[in-house]
Amino acid sequence: MTDNEKKYNIAVIPGDGIGPEVMDAGLNVLARIGDKFGCEFKTIKVLAGGAAIDETGKCLPQETVDVCKTSDAVLLAAVGGPKWNSLPGDERPERALLGLRKILGLYANLRPAMVFSQLADTSPLKSEIIGGGLDILVVRELTGGIYFGEKGTKETELGPAAYDVEQYSELEVERIARTAFNLAEKRNKNVISVDKSNVLESSRLWRRVVESVSADYPGITLDHMYVDNAAMQLVRNPRQFDVLLTSNIFGDILSDEASQITGSIGMLPSASLADGNFGMYEPVHGSAPDIAGKDIANPIAMILSIAMMLRYTLGLSCEADSIENAVNEFLDKGYRTPDITGEGYKTVGTKETGRIIAELIK
């Protein structure tokens, strides 16, 4: 590989709350990867969310969109906070996320929910349920469904009402189903597709299309589960899940539930992918304004999101492995951030965590 091929442009959105702190820790680790492996990551910081509203009056300035579009990948820490809660729906910081997903075509959201063996006792579930660990991959459709469907208000015989439409095209279901099956090929070869086809027309289409895509993947077993049952099964027997394929809204809800049963939401990364290799990478946790600016937030989800970026968008799997190994070593050595600490551990803050993990990169 020539030098030229190892230069990458990364759009960086620190955002709000703990966002800037965890991003700094993550970029520290990325810089170390650059030094160790001889690649160049050119990071360009841009505004989105509350920080962008304060600075420019808009949650997603055009400049941010332009920089993201011309980058190889986007890193986003977190957006939102109470300061902007009273703004109308389409001006809130969260709108920036929906806008970026749609504009950048990021239809496939990968949310791994795994229990780190060193943290097995932080799960709120009994050890006989969690067993030797947990490794679920939620594959959530991210640019369709009720979050993007027709919405409005109208008069009804019961008075004023509001509505949001859940709509899926065959094409939208087909492409996210293919993402799920392709990922299952590299894992335990099981897809459980979530729907509410006993009630919803859009879910009946969903199930039919997922079934027909599965014909192309004879090595993968496919099961279907109603969303209410899936919510229950996640706490009853989470180890039955490998790849969990969902619509936008069902995945929003179930991925929060899955992350909570791991007991360490501060550790979980995510990827939002477009066709091709482009992607946006962000921690599953939010902006946590209550602990912002105190140097106590856990930056590991951000750091692992950077590892996902190296793996999925930049094709740098050795570099990604070395970050994941460094995180494991950090835990093995007994270091813990305040959210996961306990007696007998060495509690370290956000900056120090970034510094130690960077140092452990081999």
Contacted by 94, from ligand IPM, Mn ion, none: CB < 5 to 8 Å by type: ligand IPM
Asked if residues 20 and 77 have their Cβ atoms less than 8 Å apart, the reply is yes
Contacted by 16, from Mn ion, ligand IPM, none: CB < 5 to 8 Å by type: none
Distances (CA, A) of 97 to 233, 274, 280: 29, 15, 10
Residue nearest to Mn ion (CB): 252
Nearer to ligand IPM, 8 or 148 (CB): 148
Binding test (CB under 5 A) with Mn ion, winner from 252, 282, 319, 339? 252
* Least distance between ligand IPM and beta carbon 98 (Å): 5
The gap between the terminal CA atoms of the chain, to the nearest Å, is: 20
Per the residue annotation, which of 35, 66, 164, 228 is the catalytic one?
228
Contacted by 97, from Mn ion, ligand IPM, none: CB < 5 to 8 Å by type: ligand IPM
Contacts of 282 (CB under 8 A, 6+ apart): 75, 76, 77, 78, 269, 270, 272, 302, 305
Is 228 part of the annotated catalytic residue set?
yes
Contacted by 77, from Mn ion, ligand IPM, none: CB < 5 to 8 Å by type: none
Asked if residues 35 and 312 have their Cβ atoms less than 8 Å apart, the reply is no
Per the residue annotation, which of 8, 107, 147, 281 is the catalytic one?
147
Distances (CA, A) of 259 to 128, 239, 255: 18, 14, 6
Nearer to Mn ion, 172 or 252 (CB): 252
Nearer to ligand IPM, 97 or 361 (CB): 97
C-alpha–C-alpha distance, residues 239 and 359, integer Å = 34
Residues that bind ligand IPM (CB under 6 A): 94, 97-98, 252
Nearer to ligand IPM, 97 or 114 (CB): 97
C-alpha–C-alpha distance, residues 239 and 188, integer Å = 11
Is 252 part of the annotated catalytic residue set?
yes
* Least distance between Mn ion and beta carbon 286 (Å): 8
Could you tell me the two tokens for 58? Answer: 């808009």
Residue nearest to ligand IPM (CB): 94
Contacted by 295, from ligand IPM, Mn ion, none: CB < 5 to 8 Å by type: none
* Burial tier of 304 (Cβ tally within 10 Å: 0-12, 13-18, 19+): buried
Per the residue annotation, which of 196, 242, 312, 335 is the catalytic one?
196
* Least distance between ligand IPM and beta carbon 94 (Å): 4
Is 226 part of the annotated catalytic residue set?
no
Nearer to ligand IPM, 145 or 238 (CB): 145
Catalytic residues: 147, 196, 228, 252, 256
Applying CB under 5 A, the residues found at the interface with Mn ion are: 252
